[in-house]
């Protein structure tokens, strides 16, 4: 399977503080890849390096075999890398529809001059096509009832969904989701998890997700990477990563004991019990 994103030996320093130290990993096309770890582990820092908000102090990043280490966030977005933010970054005074339309600005071909000749150029046709795409996203995320509502007036869970819609509007091949379920109740998390799985399976997007809800991570991720104090301490399928004693110490605060599901216990373990 082709590689979508490769991170090679990325380190990030802010003055004397090391946010990341020699982090390397690769994500395959079509994968749903989760990054977990305690608070301050460097999860958002690595996503910011991928999206271009931060430039690594050391190391390189490759997207679809192209070196993107020195590219701006806008250039990366144009290549097909989209993202959502841990703290909502919506235009609160604008409608849901207009917020999502903003997400398509990288795909606009008409400029100021051609756009001014609205009826004589392809500007009108282009706008109609973009609006059709936006309506498809609104339908997909069940945002029809609030499509004309002002984004800032919506409940938190809906605003998170609008942010996802805006990231989808870019039509990214790789989408970075920074805690998409933070602050949500159980039902909202279930809905968001379903949307993310559909993004991956139906839209064919490669997904990189930071998420604290371990139940969600274990349920929907193909592979998981764990960061602790800016270093990678584990990577693999969810079950293997969760069983890793280093992960249990760092993330769950456990000592060297390994919890065994009674249904999975061997006869020797059962007799010992």
DSSP collapsed to 3 states, 159-178:
HHHHHHHHHHHCCCCEEEEE
The predicted-structure confidence for 251-273, as pLDDT tens digits, reads as follows 666 554 433 343 444 433 333 33
Give the pLDDT mean for 140-155: 93
**HEC per residue, the chain:** CCEEEEEEEEEEEECCEEEEEEEEEEEECCCEEEEECCCCCCHHHHHHHHHCCCCCCEEEEEECCEECCCCCHHHHHHHCEEECCCCCCCCCCCEHHHHHHHCCHHHCCCCHHHHHCCCCCCHHHHHHHHHHHHHHHHHHCCCHHHCCCEHHHCCHHHHHHHHHHHHHHCCCCEEEEECCCCCCCHHHHHHHHHHHHHHHHCCCCEEEEECCCHHHHHHHCCEEEEEECCEEEEEECHHHHHHCHHHHHHHHCCCCCCCCCHHHCCHHHHHHC
Give the pLDDT mean for 201-217: 93
The predicted-structure confidence for 94-139, as pLDDT tens digits, reads as follows 999 988 988 776 655 544 444 444 444 555 666 777 788 899 999 9
In a domain, 113, yes or no: no
In a domain, 141, yes or no: no
Q: Which CATH number belongs to the domain containing residue 17 in this structure?
A: 3.40.50.300
In a domain, 81, yes or no: no
**Predicted TM-score of the model (pTM):** 0.83
Give the pLDDT mean for 183-189: 90
Name the average pLDDT for the chain. Answer: 85
Q: How many domains in the chain? A: 1
- The pLDDT > 70 percentage for the chain reads 82
In a domain, 203, yes or no: no
Q: Which of these ranges, 57-61, 149-153, 232-236, has the smallest mean pLDDT? A: 149-153
In a domain, 156, yes or no: no
pLDDT of residue 90: 78
In a domain, 115, yes or no: no
Which structural domain, as residue segments, surrounds residue 253? 1-75+214-273
In a domain, 250, yes or no: yes
In a domain, 45, yes or no: yes
């Amino acid at each position: 399977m082709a590689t979508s994103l490769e991170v090679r030996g990325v380190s990030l320093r802010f003055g004397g503080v090391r946010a990341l130290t020699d982090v390397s990993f690769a994500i395959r096309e079509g994968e749903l890849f989760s990054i977990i770890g305690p608070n301050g582990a460097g999860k958002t820092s690595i996503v910011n390096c991928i999206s271009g908000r931060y430039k690594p102090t050391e190391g390189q990043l490759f997207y679809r075999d192209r070196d993107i280490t020195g590219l701006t966030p806008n250039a990366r977005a144009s290549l097909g890398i989209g993202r959502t933010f841990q703290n909502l970054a919506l235009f609160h005074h604008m409608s849901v529809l207009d917020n999502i339309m903003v997400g398509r600005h990288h795909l606009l071909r008409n400029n100021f001059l051609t756009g001014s000749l609205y009826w004589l150029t392809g500007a009108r046709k282009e706008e109609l096509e973009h609006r059709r795409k936006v309506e498809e996203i609104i339908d997909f995320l069940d945002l029809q009832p609030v499509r004309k509502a002002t984004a800032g007036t919506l409940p938190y869970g809906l605003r998170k969904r609008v942010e996802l819609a805006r990231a989808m509007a870019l039509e990214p091949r790789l989408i970075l989701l920074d805690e998409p379920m933070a602050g949500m109740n159980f039902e909202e998390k279930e809905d968001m998890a379903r949307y993310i799985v559909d993004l991956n399976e139906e839209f064919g997007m490669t997904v990189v997700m930071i998420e604290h809800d371990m139940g969600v991570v274990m349920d929907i991720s193909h592979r998981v990477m764990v960061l602790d104090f800016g270093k990678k301490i584990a990577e693999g399928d969810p079950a293997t990563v969760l069983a890793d004693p280093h992960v249990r110490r760092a993330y769950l605060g456990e000592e060297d004991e390994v919890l065994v599901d009674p249904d999975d216990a061997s006869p020797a373990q059962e007799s010992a019990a």
